[in-house]
Amino acid sequence: MSTQQSIIDHIAEAWLDGDADGLDAQVPLAELNIVDSAEIFSLVHYLQDRFRITVPLREIAPANFRDVEAIVALVERLRGEKEGAR
């Protein structure tokens, strides 16, 4: 399963009663009140567990969580940094 699909599925399961209808990579999560600022920390926990990354506090910013596309970019960037540090 792709990173994007995994994140969409998690958001649908956690906050949309499992209904991913209409949820795609560009849907504005905060604007549509799908994920609020408090729930971002739950999402960060999921990302860290699922993708074996560390999301530094400085990265927990609205721009990185505005939509699934931004979240995927964050995950990929943090994975790259982790690989580069090895």
DSSP state of 79: H
Of the pLDDT bands very low, low, confident and very high (cuts 50, 70, 90), residue 5 is very high
- Predicted confidence at residue 85, as pLDDT, reads 64
Instruction: Indicate the average pLDDT of the chain.
Output: 93
* pLDDT value at residue 2: 95
Query: Residue 73 is inside which H or E element, if any?
Result: helix 68-85
The whole-number average pLDDT for the span 25-50 is 93
What is the band of 58 on the pLDDT scale with cuts at 50, 70, 90? very high
For residue 43, what is the enclosing H or E element?
A: helix 37-51
Span 3-85: which CATH code?
1.10.1200.10
Q: What is the pTM of this model?
A: 0.91
